[in-house]
Amino acid sequence: MKEMRRIGDVCRVDEEGRIINTSSLANVSPAFKEAISYYREAVLASLSSEVHSIYVRGSVPRGLGIEGVSDLDTIIITVSDGEKLSSSLVNKIEQDVVDRFPFVNGVEMSVFSLNDVLETSRFAIIPFMIKTHSICIYGENLQKQLPRYKADKALANDHIYHIRAIILQAKEELVGNDDPEDVKDCCVWVMKMIIRCGFAFVIEQERTYSRDLYPAYERFSKHYPEKEPEMRKALHLAVNPTEEIEAILSFLNTFGDWMINEAEGWLVVNNRDREEHLML
């Protein structure tokens, strides 16, 4: 069983409350730098005519990458529609990196078009992640063209608006699922979403943001002390997923339903028109 360690931190913000990107290639360990270099060349060898730019986000560019634990989370921006890229090709590149660098826990390769990323009149999570949590490892760096984001309602809404659908989807995927690894993957995914949504409820009070699980759990619990045990259990299940479907469903049918109701209350006050993406 993995220990729930106090890993990560909240985002730094400037005097105007705008999130500061603390990611840097200088923060990346030599081992992960080698993996990043191999990944970049693999992408360009297969997709050179399509690639506009490549980014690495998450714990690794913040210097928090842990061998055997951390994923290599990447964003590829294409000059045309990213959906045209073959999923089999994406899967092959991801697997090649893991095979060559076994200390990389996994590779996430998200592909989006340039037009989609530069549409920034409303909040969207990918431009936000590029601006605030990423480093550019190839191509034209789009960060200067993107807005300076705050920890505000628009960011909170991106988590809160979707939590109902996420929890309901998790329940559907779990019922009758006979693949233990798929059950555990679903467990990790939905618990992470619950924890980050919990922080979203208190973003405006805290005036900062974090995708790291422990800081998100702590900030939520400060404002909802009566729900601290449940959120701690979500943290435990995110770090130590179970394959016991009934245990996960029981949690989702209790604390998950509470999260849905709390999200509904937030939306009534802050997003009455139920807009998926709020204006910046």
Tens of pLDDT, residues 189-234: 999 999 999 999 999 999 999 999 999 999 999 999 999 999 999 9
Q: Let me know whether 194 and 210 are in one domain.
A: yes
Mean model confidence pLDDT for the chain: 95
Q: Tell me whether residue 20 is in a domain.
A: no
Picking from 117, 202, 195, the residue whose alpha carbon sits closest to that of residue 153 is 202
Q: Flag whether 66 is in a domain.
A: yes
pLDDT tens, position by position, 127-139: 999 999 999 999 9
The last residue of a domain, from among 121, 145, 169: 145
In a domain, 194, yes or no: yes
Average pLDDT, integer, range 50-74: 93
Say if residue 124 is in the same domain as residue 184.
no
Model-level pTM? 0.93
Q: Are residues 62 and 133 in the same domain?
A: yes
Q: Could you tell me if 127 and 162 lie in one domain?
A: no
**82 and 116 in a common domain:** yes
CATH code for the domain in which residue 63 is found: 3.30.460.10
* Per-residue model confidence (pLDDT) at position 145: 97
Number of compact structural domains in the chain: 2
Same structural domain, 119 and 158: no
**Is 240's pLDDT higher than 80?**
yes
Domain boundary among 127, 145, 163: 145
pLDDT reported for residue 82: 52
104/187 same-domain check? no
- pLDDT of 244 strictly over 60: yes
pLDDT confidence band for 4 (50 / 70 / 90):
low
Tell whether the model's pLDDT for residue 80 goes beyond 90: no
Q: Give a yes or no: residue 16 inside a domain.
A: no
Q: What average pLDDT does range 144-165 have in this prediction?
A: 98
Q: For residue 101, tell me if it sits in a domain.
A: yes
End residue of a domain, out of 123, 145, 167: 145
Q: 122: which strand partners?
A: 279
**Residue 186 belongs to some domain of the structure:** yes
Same-domain pairing of 160 and 101: no
Nearest to 109 by CA among 151, 147, 33, 54: 54
Verify that 170 and 210 share a domain, yes or no: yes
Q: Are residues 195 and 261 in the same domain?
A: yes
In a domain, 280, yes or no: no
pLDDT higher than 90, residue 88:
no
Contact, 28 vs 60, CB < 8 A? yes
- pLDDT of amino acid 7: 79
Question: Measuring CA to CA, which residue among 43, 28, 35, 122 is closest to residue 75?
Answer: 43
**Same-domain check for residues 196 and 266:** yes
71 pLDDT exceeds 60?
yes
Q: State the pLDDT at residue 84.
A: 62
Domain-located, residue 203: yes
**Model confidence at 2: pLDDT above 80:** no
Expressed as residue numbers, the domain containing 223 is 153-270
Give pLDDT, residue 253: 98
Residues 265 and 173 in one domain: yes
